[in-house]
C-alpha cells in the first residue's frame, strides 16, 4: 500500500483545534497513521503557531496544551529544509511556503479548505484536497 505524502495548511490545523466534531480534528488525531506521512518546515510550523495562538481563533486550549500539540506535530512529521523559493507563485505569499514544502517533499497532496488559493499547483504534480476528500482517499469512513 502506498504511503501518501501530505502537507497540511494552517486553516485545517486551526479548525481541528477549534472543534473536535469536524473532519479536520479527525485528520489531526490520525496524524501518526501508517497510511500517510506529514511534512513540516520551520516556516510552516511558525505559521501554525502564530495562527493558533491569535486571540481571535476561539481555540479554547491552554498555551501548554497548544505547545504540546505543536511538539507532537514536530515529532511525527518529517522535517524539511527549504533551499529554494517558488515565490511568487500563489496569490498569497503565506501560501507559497506550503507549496515550497510540498514540492521539496515530493508530496502527493496539500490539504486545505481554501482550494482556490492553491490553483495551479497541479503543475508540480500536487493535488489540493479538503480534509474530507483526503480521508476518502485513504479509505476512512466519513
Q: What is the pLDDT of residues 99-109, one digit of tens each?
A: 999 999 999 99
The Cα–Cα gap between 18 and 59 comes to 5
- Is position 39 within any domain? yes
- Is position 129 within any domain? yes
CATH at residue 76: 3.40.50.1010
pLDDT(86) > 70: no
- Is position 9 within any domain? yes
Number of folded domains that form the chain: 1
Do 113 and 8 form a contact (C-beta atoms < 8 A)?
no
- Is position 142 within any domain? no
- Is position 41 within any domain? yes
- Is position 132 within any domain? yes
User: By residue range, what is the domain housing residue 34?
Assistant: 4-137
Q: Which of 106, 79, 103, 107 minimizes the C-alpha distance to 90? A: 103
Helix-helix angle 10-18:63-76, to 10 degrees = 130
Strand 36-40 to strand 127-129: parallel, antiparallel, or no bridges (unpaired)? Answer: unpaired
How many CB atoms lie under 10 A from the CB of residue 3? 12
Q: What is the mean pLDDT of residues 39-44?
A: 96
Q: What is the mean pLDDT of residues 66-87?
A: 89
- Is position 116 within any domain? yes
- Is position 36 within any domain? yes
Strand 4-8 to strand 109-111: parallel, antiparallel, or no bridges (unpaired)? Answer: parallel
Q: How confident is the model at residue 12 (pLDDT cuts 50, 70, 90)?
A: very high
Amino acid at each position: 500500500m502506498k504511503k501518501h505524502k501530505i502537507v497540511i495548511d494552517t486553516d485545517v490545523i486551526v479548525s481541528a483545534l477549534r472543534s473536535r466534531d469536524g473532519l479536520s480534528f479527525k485528520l489531526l488525531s490520525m496524524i501518526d497513521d501508517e497510511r500517510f506521512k506529514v511534512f513540516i518546515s520551520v516556516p510552516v510550523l511558525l505559521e501554525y503557531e502564530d495562527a493558533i495562538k491569535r486571540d481571535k481563533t476561539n481555540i479554547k486550549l491552554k498555551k501548554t496544551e497548544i505547545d504540546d500539540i505543536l511538539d507532537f506535530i514536530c515529532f511525527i512529521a518529517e522535517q524539511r529544509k527549504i533551499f529554494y523559493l517558488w515565490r511568487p507563485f500563489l496569490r498569497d505569499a503565506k501560501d507559497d511556503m506550503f507549496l515550497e514544502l510540498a514540492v521539496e517533499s515530493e508530496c502527493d497532496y496539500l490539504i486545505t479548505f481554501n482550494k482556490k488559493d492553491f490553483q495551479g499547483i497541479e503543475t508540480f504534480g500536487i493535488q489540493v484536497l479538503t480534509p474530507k476528500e483526503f480521508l476518502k482517499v485513504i479509505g476512512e469512513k466519513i
